[in-house]
């Protein structure tokens, strides 16, 4: 990943009471619009392809927008706003759950519906690039390698039928992976794969920065500055994070 380019990872864009959003997935539409307006003023929003390509020309820090899980509320509350401003995005789809509710989440009062095939095609027409979040939303840390291999194959087949091309990119479900899983992803034909909060050095272990409902304007500015990951992985910051990680890990495991 080139300096001063950040790949942001959103999940749901919708209203959800904090008490019902135990995994901090739901950014409100108003907060999302405020964040995008900030990006328009102070950053450059680029396609994911550009974020992974040759170094960008000098200018403001660049960000690429991604959405994990393909929630219907992303189509309802995010895509129209992005389309209105001509901004690109990428949606990572768990293909077994197309048109269903996200089965890996605990029941709640908040809408966790996944887009249907027609809705995914609509999102693509409106500027979103449709890519892979695996098939069954497997945990690539715990799954057997043959499970991962089959999961990647099914995802690729469904997305090729849906979009006309096999996926180029994968976002690891639950944000994590192993070195063996990376090898399976590379062998599947995927060009690059993305984690969350799991730093790596290969094209199949690229780190993204998650945006949650806990991020206010200052936090969002830092996370999109191009310096956040360097700060985040500095020894002092890593030590502090390690101290609190046991407290937040239960929330992250079922992201």
State the pLDDT at residue 200.
74
Average pLDDT score over residue span 164-191: 96
pLDDT digits (tens, 9 = 90+) for 199-221: 777 999 999 999 999 999 999 99
State the pLDDT at residue 114.
98
- Mean residue pLDDT across the chain: 91
Average pLDDT score over residue span 69-78: 98
pLDDT digits (tens, 9 = 90+) for 8-31: 999 999 999 999 999 999 999 999
Q: Is the pTM of this model over 0.85?
A: yes
pLDDT digits (tens, 9 = 90+) for 123-162: 999 999 999 999 999 999 999 999 999 999 999 999 999 9
Instruction: Report residue 119: phi and psi, to 5°.
Output: -70, -35
Tokens 């990872």 map to which residue?
9
Round to whole Å and give the CA distance between 149 and 184.
Answer: 6
What is the Cβ-side half-sphere exposure of residue 253, based on CA atoms within 13 angstroms? 8
Sketch the domain layout of the chain as residue ranges. Answer: 5-253
State the pLDDT at residue 255.
38
Question: Could you say which architecture CATH assigns to the domain 5-253?
Answer: Alpha-Beta Barrel (3.20)
Say if residues 9 and 68 touch (Cβ distance below 8 Å).
yes
């Amino acid at each position: 990943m080139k300096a001063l380019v950040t790949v942001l990872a959103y999940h749901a864009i919708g209203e959800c009471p904090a008490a019902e959003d135990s995994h901090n997935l739901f950014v409100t539409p108003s907060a999302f619009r405020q964040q995008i307006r900030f990006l328009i003023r102070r950053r450059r929003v680029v396609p994911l392809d550009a974020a992974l390509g040759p170094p960008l020309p000098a200018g403001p820090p660049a960000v690429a927008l991604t959405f994990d899980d393909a929630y219907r509320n992303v189509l309802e509350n995010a895509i129209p706003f992005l389309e209105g401003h001509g901004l690109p995005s990428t949606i990572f789809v768990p293909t077994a759950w197309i048109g269903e509710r996200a089965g890996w989440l605990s029941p709640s009062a908040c809408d966790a519906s996944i887009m249907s095939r027609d809705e995914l095609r609509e999102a693509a027409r409106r500027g979103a690039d449709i890519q892979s979040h695996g098939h069954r939303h497997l945990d690539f840390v715990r799954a057997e390698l043959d499970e991962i291999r089959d999961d990647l194959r099914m995802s690729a087949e469904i997305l090729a039928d849906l979009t006309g091309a096999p996926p180029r990119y994968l976002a690891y479900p639950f944000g994590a992976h192993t070195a063996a899983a990376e090898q399976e992803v590379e062998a599947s034909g995927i060009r690059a794969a993305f984690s969350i909060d799991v730093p790596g050095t290969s094209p199949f272990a690229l780190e993204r920065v998650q945006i949650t409902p806990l991020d206010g304007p200052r936090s969002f500015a830092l996370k999109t500055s191009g310096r956040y990951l360097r700060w985040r992985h500095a020894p002092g910051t890593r030590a502090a994070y390690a101290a609190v990680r046991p407290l937040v890990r239960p929330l992250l495991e079922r992201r």
